[in-house]
């Protein structure tokens, strides 16, 4: 007997799994093999626990999920977790339709699956009925395109794989010794370029993402007690209205850490918020500390806050995007477009980029219970991948962190996660400096080449000197 295989393409299965979470699908019933009849359906699908129907017509893959058993009880079944869905070739994301409040999800009869709005295997034939508004509301064109003939009909058992990965997708050592190692590594950091004493890291993100809170958290971890130097809040508009550069001291009155964290006005979905041209000027080192952002126009070259003559130490050496993990799926197209525009401009400047996922404890109860679960949480890993794909940033550059928000005492695991993120920022800043060294070396090599051949080709020497002046 041949093995019965799924009709779902790899892309269709990926989109379906995005609706179901960390599960695997076990094929129970395939109508083209077992028959397009209610009896065949119940023979293979009754008492199987959570299941998902996968119906195919000429242009759509669609169906229904329920967490309840099929038992042929003849009664209506309420299931708040039930939903209808549709996957079409032209859509990036699947359509998901929840049930109408108070109405049954499906009628558990001896017929084909009857979800009211969608009734499958009608009269034991490869067709379905469409009744939007009965249990579920949808537009027929978006759900199935109006084609009521089924080319295939399948049912899968939905098997949960648990909420924690068997192994973490990154290894973190959660010990006091590791915390001290990270602190020392950060404090001893020295850029490879003699004229630069510290790395300048620019934080960019939507309003309320946690940029200012991240600085306060790092400062607190180094100070050994809670601090609130940067103004942070939860208002709908940006609390930060100035460009601020913050230095960090190791302990009260201690030596400055070779890291400057630069805070900006938040990105907003409207035309308000940080102007992207201001962001470019900051990255090039042209904007002075405490410059007051203007909501109407970017800083012009002849304005008082504009620093015309800059050096490498004034520039930004690493850009960090900050996103609230709770709001990953709520990022609007306009916000994503802003991120894309910023990334292109920062890429043109050759500045490395990292993405911080904040508030991971609020996003996942398992992480709130134990921060050590941050790299074992299925949900956090999925959100990291989602952000990586949405913003075009490699997964290796996406770092989950927890800021201090309501605590009055420091926490070892929180500090380790924060310091690990800072270490990566310094590593990326090193990449920026190494690129400058290579470029400088290439110029010096060319100068030496032309100097060594001056007696042979003076016209080339004059030409090169004219170019570099």
CATH number of the domain where residue 348 is located: 3.40.50.300
Q: Is the pTM of this model over 0.75?
A: no
> Quick one: 146 and 200 in the same domain?
no
CB neighbour burial string for 391-407, b if at least 16 within 10 angstroms, e if fewer: bebeeebbbbbbbbeee
Residue 125 domain-assigned (yes or no): yes
> Quick one: 213 and 127 in the same domain?
no
> Quick one: 232 and 150 in the same domain?
no
Residue 116 domain-assigned (yes or no): yes
Among the candidates 160, 190, 220, a domain finishes at 160
> Quick one: 155 and 201 in the same domain?
no
Residue 1 domain-assigned (yes or no): no
3-class SS of residue 19 = helix
Among the candidates 99, 134, 160, a domain finishes at 160
Whether 234 and 359 have beta carbons less than 8 Å apart is answered as no
Whether 141 and 134 have beta carbons less than 8 Å apart is answered as no
Among the candidates 133, 160, 187, a domain finishes at 160
Helix, strand, coil tally for the chain in percent (to 5): 35, 20, 40
Within 10 angstroms of residue 438's Cβ, the number of other Cβ atoms is 9
Q: What pLDDT is recorded for position 465?
A: 39
Residue 169 domain-assigned (yes or no): no
Instruction: Domain of residue 34: give its range.
Output: 10-160
Q: What pLDDT is recorded for position 293?
A: 76
How far, in Å, CA of 462 to CA of 148, rounded?
Answer: 79
Angle at 334 between CA 328 and CA 336, to 5 degrees: 45
Sign of CA dihedral 228, 234, 235, 239: positive
Q: What pLDDT is recorded for position 239?
A: 56
pLDDT in tens, the chain (469 residues): 456 899 999 899 999 999 998 888 999 999 999 999 999 999 999 999 999 999 999 999 999 999 999 999 999 999 999 999 999 987 889 999 999 999 999 999 999 999 999 999 999 999 999 999 999 999 999 999 999 999 999 999 999 877 899 899 999 999 999 999 999 999 999 998 989 999 999 999 988 889 989 999 999 999 999 988 776 655 445 555 788 899 998 888 889 999 999 988 888 755 666 788 889 999 999 988 888 877 667 778 877 778 888 999 999 999 999 999 988 877 888 888 999 999 999 999 999 999 999 999 998 889 999 999 999 998 899 899 989 999 999 999 999 999 998 899 999 999 999 999 999 999 999 999 998 865 555 555 554 544 444 444 344 333 333 333 3
Query: Which residue, among 102, 34, 101, 38, has the nearest Cα to 70 in the 3D structure?
Result: 38
> Quick one: 257 and 368 in the same domain?
yes
> Quick one: 230 and 103 in the same domain?
no
Question: Dihedral (C-alpha) 349, 352, 355, 356: value to the nearest 10 degrees?
Answer: -120
Residue 67 domain-assigned (yes or no): yes
> Quick one: 199 and 147 in the same domain?
no
Beta-strand relationship, 83-88 and 23-30:
unpaired
> Quick one: 156 and 219 in the same domain?
no
User: For the chain, what is the domain count?
Assistant: 2
Residue 3 domain-assigned (yes or no): no
3-class SS of residue 291 = strand
> Quick one: 293 and 323 in the same domain?
yes
> Quick one: 147 and 198 in the same domain?
no
Whether 238 and 210 have beta carbons less than 8 Å apart is answered as no
Residue 463 domain-assigned (yes or no): no
> Quick one: 147 and 225 in the same domain?
no
> Quick one: 268 and 121 in the same domain?
no
Residue 32 domain-assigned (yes or no): yes
Q: What pLDDT is recorded for position 161?
A: 78
How far, in Å, CA of 233 to CA of 208, rounded?
Answer: 7
């Amino acid at each position: 007997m041949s093995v019965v295989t799924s009709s779902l393409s790899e892309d269709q299965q990926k989109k379906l799994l995005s609706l179901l979470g960390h599960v695997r699908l076990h094929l129970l019933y395939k109508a083209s093999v077992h028959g397009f009849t209610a009896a065949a359906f119940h023979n293979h699908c009754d008492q199987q626990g959570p299941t998902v129907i996968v119906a195919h017509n000429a242009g759509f893959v669609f169906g229904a999920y329920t967490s309840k058993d099929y038992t042929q009880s003849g009664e209506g079944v309420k299931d708040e977790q039930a939903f209808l869905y549709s996957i079409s070739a032209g859509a990036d994301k699947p359509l998901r339709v929840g049930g109408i409040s108070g109405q049954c999800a499906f009628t558990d009869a001896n017929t084909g699956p009857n979800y009211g709005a969608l009734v499958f295997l009608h009269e034991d034939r490869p067709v379905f009925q469409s009744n939007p508004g009965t249990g579920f509301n949808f537009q027929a064109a978006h759900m199935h395109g109006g084609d009521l003939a089924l080319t295939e009909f399948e049912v899968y058992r939905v098997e949960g794989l648990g909420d924690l990965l068997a192994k973490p997708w990154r290894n973190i050592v959660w010990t006091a010794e590791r915390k001290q190692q990270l602190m020392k590594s950060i404090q001893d950091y020295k850029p490879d370029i003699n004229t630069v004493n510290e790395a300048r890291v620019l934080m960019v993100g939507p309003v309320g993402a946690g940029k200012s809170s991240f600085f306060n958290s790092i400062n607190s971890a180094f100070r050994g007690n809670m601090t609130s130097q940067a103004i942070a809040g939860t208002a709908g508009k940006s609390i930060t209205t100035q460009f601020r550069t913050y230095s960090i001291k190791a302990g009260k009155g201690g030596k400055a850490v070779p890291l400057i964290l630069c805070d900006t006005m938040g990105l907003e979905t409207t035309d308000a918020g940080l102007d992207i041209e201001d962001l470019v000027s900051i990255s090039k080192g042209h904007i002075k500390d405490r410059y007051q952002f203007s909501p109407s126009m970017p800083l012009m070259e002849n304005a008082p806050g504009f620093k015309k003559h800059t050096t490498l130490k004034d520039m930004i050496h690493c850009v960090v995007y900050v996103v609230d993990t709770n709001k990953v799926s709520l990022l609007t197209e306009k916000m994503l477009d802003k991120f894309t525009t910023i990334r292109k401009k920062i890429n043109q400047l050759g500045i490395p980029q990292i993405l911080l996922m904040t508030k991971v404890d609020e996003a996942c109860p398992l992480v709130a219970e134990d921060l050590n679960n941050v790299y074992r949480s299925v949900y956090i890993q999925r959100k990291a991948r989602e952000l990586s794909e949405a913003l075009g940033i490699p997964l290796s550059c996406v770092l989950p962190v927890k800021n201090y928000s309501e605590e009055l005492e420091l926490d070892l695991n929180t500090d380790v996660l924060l310091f690990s993120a800072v270490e990566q920022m310094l590593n990326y800043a090193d990449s920026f400096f190494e690129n400058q060294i290579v470029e400088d070396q290439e110029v010096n090599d060319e100068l030496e080449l032309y100097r060594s051949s001056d007696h042979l080709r003076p016209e080339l020497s004059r030409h090169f000197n004219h170019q570099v002046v």
